[in-house]
Amino acid sequence: MSSINAFLLQHNLRIATNPCVSPDFCLDWPALRAELVAGKPPKVYPKSRFETKQGIWLLGENEHGDCAWRLDGPGAKPDVLDDGVALSSGAVAFPATFSNLLRLKNLVQEHNPASTIFPTATEQLGRSTLGVGARFTTLHWPAVEWVMSALSLGVTANQNSIPRELVYDTDVMLAGQLDTVPFPFIGTNVPEGHQGQSVEGMSHGCILSKLKTGFHRRGIAWSFNADHQPIGGKFDSREDQLVTGCVLASYITFDLSPELAQTKVADDAAGWVKANVPAELVAQVKARVAKAGLTINEADFAKLVAYVWPSFQKMKVRYEKYSAARAKLFATAVGRAFLSELSIDELPGLTTSETTAIMLAFCEALGMKIHFVAPAFGFQKNMPYPDNAALRTLIEKQWAVCKQFGASIGFHSGSGKSAENYQVMGQVTGSRLEIKTSGRYTYEMGRALFASTNVADQALWRDWYKFTLELALLGSFSADATEQKMARIFVTDALAKSGKGTEVFANPIVTRAALEALPASPEHMFWFEYNFLHVLAAGGRAQKAALGDHTAAGYRQRARFYAISDEGRLNFSKNIATYIVFLAENTGLATAATCAAARTLLARYTTLDQMLDDISK
Ligand SMILES: [Zn+2]
């Protein structure tokens, strides 16, 4: 048994209330196998049915959330996957392990290359999409499946930053050796993987979700984005683990910032370029940029190339590793293909057209197809862009370049913009874009619990709110200048928007009194900013040392979210669906009529089952 499965079983952290931590979707195969052999069938998902050459497959699950594949048909042999067991009915069953999932992917795609059970990299997904961060995994995906089905629109239905939000290696996690991520606004570092799920567990879960709801029957291709894959810098030592973990992702975002952060540009940049970058490549890039209609300033060009060349060399190595890992494991072209995004919004300042052109020309010359490029537009997370005319001009300049390289524009920090902002993005690019959203959905969970009449949902909401209030209070009097400044901005914003006085920082007692006088609300900025860290805070405690806790204490806290009521889940699902429909309409990815019909349907649902039943149509 793997260390992670032993750990989870030892602490009774089962998949039903702590999904996607282990790469496997079966922690205890001996127990599930015994149930199956004894003819005590687990719950079977009838809509999960699909075919391969070997026969008909169905997904089953017991009360702990352990899953098994059941194969019926003439080719039903116990060695089709690992650890098979023959059942008296003539069928065979297999544990839903990660290694079995990889084998199953080949069986499925060899039989039907157009299958939409697994995430893929279709041409359409590489042109226009919405990036939907799945902070709450199994609670989240069914709503995304509902939207894709209702709009007949495939999107990036699974997305998270790795290793920032997801655990990249559960053995490293169990050894207590995960690196940390600085959060200056909290004045501390939090362990990576602060949402608790592993990249493989998340990869596994998003596929099983499609089968449980029968989404795969709709034939709508969807993608899974391994977001902000860090290139170079301190990540060199574990790039092979990053590659292996992301093997089911059909879409990779390359983030050069770790390497850029440690690159020192030589004083004589031109001389350095001459000595270090192949002249032929430089000439090719210059010619391509000129062909795109841009004039190169030699000095600026040399400086940029000297700055980015070490990153590009590492990006090329990584790109080849992603390709090789897929070629090794997957037998079909559709199974091996992946989309690529180049994130350059981490470079200093607003991105110029010249920079975008040079970056894309380098990728092209190095044989890396880029589907999306993410320039910096000066977006603040969760804040509308204040000037639509200025935004239009900025995007027009970038689009003039991107379209010549066949690349769509990725809008990072895309949550919380105005409808008009999204319209501008869609109009200028002809909907050749991706809007990345993630934090928005944690907010939607807060709204869902806040609105729920269920007693346990309300208790979780109150604890969650209190957690952020306490962090805001601590931060407001922190000795760390950034932390204090940010906390006071969040507190002041909440007070001002509630029509209260904002001169409350004389001492902590005054601040506490002011905050406690506010009615609890998911609209308060301090709740919004601190909320995501409650998920894995040991004991739910508002203490820096409790954040991102990958011991049993952190996972017991996480389990509270996965135990919310059906009413809470329905609220959450409707909120997610409503937001994605809003994005699809304003960016022009779906027509107003289609979106209106989807909204009408959504308003009708009074139970979660009604909503989920409609996914497969
Ligand atoms: Zn980015």
CA 488 to ligand 1 centroid distance, Å:
27
As a whole number of angstroms, the distance between CA 158 and CA 149 comes to 15
CA 429 to ligand 1 centroid distance, Å:
19
CA 319 to ligand 1 centroid distance, Å:
17
CA 443 to ligand 1 centroid distance, Å:
21
Task: Give the residue from 426, 233, 260 showing the smallest Cα distance to 344.
Answer: 260
Angle between helices 481-497 and 455-476 (to 10 degrees): 130
The reported pLDDT for the residue numbered 565 is 98
The reported pLDDT for the residue numbered 231 is 97
CA 346 to ligand 1 centroid distance, Å:
6
CA 355 to ligand 1 centroid distance, Å:
15
CA 459 to ligand 1 centroid distance, Å:
36
The reported pLDDT for the residue numbered 381 is 80
Provide the token pair at 509.
């007692």
Q: How many helices (H) and strands (E) does the chain have?
A: 24, 15
CA 523 to ligand 1 centroid distance, Å:
26
CA 144 to ligand 1 centroid distance, Å:
22
CA 372 to ligand 1 centroid distance, Å:
11
CA 382 to ligand 1 centroid distance, Å:
15
> Could you write out the DSSP letters of every residue in 63-76?
TT--EEEEEESTT-
The order of strands in the sheet holding 67-72 is 43-52, 55-61, 67-72, 92-95, 85-86
Confidence of residue 167 (pLDDT cuts 50, 70, 90): very high
CA 271 to ligand 1 centroid distance, Å:
30
The reported pLDDT for the residue numbered 415 is 87
The reported pLDDT for the residue numbered 413 is 87
Question: Does the pLDDT value for residue 169 go beyond 90?
Answer: yes
The reported pLDDT for the residue numbered 358 is 96
Close Cβ partners of 69 (under 8 Å, ≥ 6 residues apart): 57, 58, 59, 60, 81, 93, 94, 95, 96, 100, 104
CA 580 to ligand 1 centroid distance, Å:
20
Q: Please tell me the number of Cα atoms within 13 Å of 484 on its side-chain side.
A: 8
CA 440 to ligand 1 centroid distance, Å:
16
CA 253 to ligand 1 centroid distance, Å:
8
Question: Does the pLDDT value for residue 41 go beyond 80?
Answer: no
As a whole number of angstroms, the distance between CA 431 and CA 403 comes to 12
The reported pLDDT for the residue numbered 380 is 85
Strands 67-72 and 339-343, sheet pairing = unpaired
CA 141 to ligand 1 centroid distance, Å:
23
CA 344 to ligand 1 centroid distance, Å:
6
As a whole number of angstroms, the distance between CA 224 and CA 20 comes to 15
Helix (H/G/I), strand (E/B), else coil: 595: helix
Cα–Cα distance list, 127 to 118, 122, 435 (Å): 19, 9, 12
As a whole number of angstroms, the distance between CA 155 and CA 131 comes to 7
As a whole number of angstroms, the distance between CA 165 and CA 197 comes to 8
The reported pLDDT for the residue numbered 346 is 84
CA 379 to ligand 1 centroid distance, Å:
11
CA 403 to ligand 1 centroid distance, Å:
19
Provide the token pair at 18.
């702590």
Question: Does the pLDDT value for residue 48 go beyond 90?
Answer: yes
As a whole number of angstroms, the distance between CA 456 and CA 459 comes to 5
CA 345 to ligand 1 centroid distance, Å:
5
CA 163 to ligand 1 centroid distance, Å:
14
Average pLDDT over every residue of 167-186: 96
CA 229 to ligand 1 centroid distance, Å:
10
* Count of other CB atoms within 10 angstroms of residue 207: 24
Close Cβ partners of 75 (under 8 Å, ≥ 6 residues apart): 53, 54, 55
* Count of other CB atoms within 10 angstroms of residue 545: 10
CB-CB contact of 125 with 131 (8 Å): no
Confidence of residue 414 (pLDDT cuts 50, 70, 90): confident
As a whole number of angstroms, the distance between CA 576 and CA 581 comes to 9
Average pLDDT over every residue of 298-307: 95
As a whole number of angstroms, the distance between CA 85 and CA 92 comes to 5
Return the beta strands (E) in 184-338 as ranges.
188-191, 223-230, 251-255
3-state secondary structure 75-126: CCCCCCCCCCEECCCCCEEEECCHHHHHHHHHHHHHHCCCCCCCCCCCCHHH
CA 156 to ligand 1 centroid distance, Å:
16
CA 274 to ligand 1 centroid distance, Å:
30
CA 307 to ligand 1 centroid distance, Å:
18
CA 347 to ligand 1 centroid distance, Å:
9
User: Is this prediction's pTM over 0.95?
Assistant: yes
CA 257 to ligand 1 centroid distance, Å:
9
3-state secondary structure 399-464: HHHHHHHCCEEEECCCCCCCHHHHHHHHHHHCCCEEEEECHHHHHHHHHHHHHCCCHHHHHHHHHH
CA 255 to ligand 1 centroid distance, Å:
7
CA 158 to ligand 1 centroid distance, Å:
17
CA 370 to ligand 1 centroid distance, Å:
14
Lowest mean pLDDT: which of 170-174, 197-201, 274-278, 295-299?
A: 295-299
pLDDT digits (tens, 9 = 90+) for 509-543: 999 999 999 999 999 999 999 999 999 999 999 99
pLDDT digits (tens, 9 = 90+) for 433-483: 999 998 899 999 999 999 999 999 999 999 999 999 999 999 999 999 999
The reported pLDDT for the residue numbered 591 is 98
CA 374 to ligand 1 centroid distance, Å:
6
CA 397 to ligand 1 centroid distance, Å:
19
As a whole number of angstroms, the distance between CA 613 and CA 220 comes to 17
